[in-house]
Amino acid sequence: MSYNFDEVIDRSGSYSVKYDFFQEFKKPEKVLPLWVADMDFQSPTEITRELSKVLEHGIYGYSNSKEDYDQAVISWFQTHFQWEAQPEWIVKTPGIVFAISTAVRALSREGDAVLIQRPVYAPFTSAVQLNNRTLVNNPLQYIDGSYQIDFEDFEQKIIDHKVKLFILCNPHNPVGRVWTRQELTRMGEICLKHGVIIIADEIHADFTYPGYEHIMFASIKPEFSQNLILCTAPSKTFNLAGLQASNIFIPNKELRSKFKAELSRQGYHGLNTMGMLACKTAYEHGAEWLKELKVYLTGNRDYIKDFLAERLPEIHMVEPQGTYLVWLDFRALGLKDSELEDMLLHKAGLWLEPGLKYGPEGAGFQRINIACPRQILVKAMHQLEQAVKTYGKIEL
Ligand SMILES: Cc1ncc(COP(=O)(O)O)c(C=O)c1O
């Protein structure tokens, strides 16, 4: 490996949400933070080099992207997902949560029903509820250790509630599924049949484990891409969340103009200079780095899997097919969620994401972020083992 993902870099004092906000979140100071979805790795050096040029120049006036930006974004998806986009389809936003909320406002009215599949990334719920739309849930089914879609329920809920929008998460946070072409096609056909527009959040598209392939929803057939708000970003892939740049593809002209009109109503007019440059550079020069990172993350996933199987079989890892977020099933411990969180924080010294954040279906689960140097995970797993086996006595 030419990149050193083993290096532990002190992130404290960098205004990091993960490392500098223990007090604000009312967490003990010395717990290991493995919750929020960013990585403890430096981004590819090419990105830092490009950003340094801006710093040296020292003028931070208005900027805008040019064709080379669009080309870099389009080439990424062409090379990695065999999907051919057009430059005019790209609408830039400062983030995916922002884009989802914008799409909900642009394409539905107050009271309209919006479908999601819980347990799912919590801002899906807030994008619906904070905009006074009606939340409709098609709960994922946890069957034989893996998550499946209940398609009958999916269609029936659409009919019963006259659903207008469906927010798809692929790869799915937190359960780690990479939906197959068959599953995506079935959902897409049902949505077309009932006039439901799809907002596809594919922010984790670049993270699939060996044996799994991310299929871009837009690539399946033209009718799907015409019924779609496709949300992509380099932020998870290259650890750029703080730079706030994302690319929303909207091939359908009418949907695109509605989305853009909503952006204008919010007064948003373009990416910040650093985010724009980082995105372009990442897509132009980041492929090798990502390739090695994925090997490292696969090692991290396998480490946790083996450790739990051998030493803590009562905690089950739901095998992720994609994302660097791992969904752990603690239900066999027989603890209430509040007790589980208390044990993790105060006995194991671990700050994970409680499953309930993703909906009631997440009860008894916790999400752990494995995008960190291996030695941090090793420490985390040993602390967990000691806590579960002794119910306490860890010196924090
Ligand atoms: C599925 C999903 N969508 C969106 C986001 C956040 O995107 P942004 O920071 O661009 O709003 C995350 C972050 O964890 C995520 O997991």
pLDDT on residue 390 = 85
Task: Give the distance, in angstroms, between the CA of residue 394 and the centroid of all CA atoms in the same chain.
Answer: 32
203 lines ligand 1 (CB under 6 A): yes
Cα-to-centroid distance, 200 and ligand 1 (Å): 12
Which atom of ligand 1 lies at the shortest distance from residue 37's CA?
14
Which atom of ligand 1 lies at the shortest distance from residue 241's CA?
9
Nearest CA to ligand 1 atom 14: 37
What's at 125, amino acid-wise? T
pTM passes above 0.85: yes
Tens-place pLDDT, residues 247-284: 999 999 999 999 999 999 999 989 999 999 999 999 99
Q: How far, in Å, are 49, 149, 180, 305, 376 from residue 228 at the CA level?
A: 35, 20, 18, 36, 39
Give the residues of the chain that fall short of pLDDT 70. Answer: 1, 391-396
Hey, what domains does the chain have and what are their CATH numbers?
Answer: 60-284 (3.40.640.10)
Distance in angstroms (rounded) separating the CA atoms of residues 291 and 180: 22
39 lines ligand 1 (CB under 6 A): no
pLDDT on residue 1 = 60
Cα-to-centroid distance, 394 and ligand 1 (Å): 33
Tens-place pLDDT, residues 40-97: 999 999 999 999 999 999 999 999 999 999 999 999 999 999 999 999 999 999 999 9
pLDDT on residue 64 = 94
Hey, which of 17, 38, 96 would you mutate to test ligand 1's pocket, going by the most ligand atoms within 8 Å of its Cβ? 96
Classified as helix, coil or strand, 218 is helix
pLDDT on residue 392 = 46
Of 19, 34, 37, 11, nearest to 351 (Cα)? 34
Distance in angstroms (rounded) separating the CA atoms of residues 223 and 375: 47
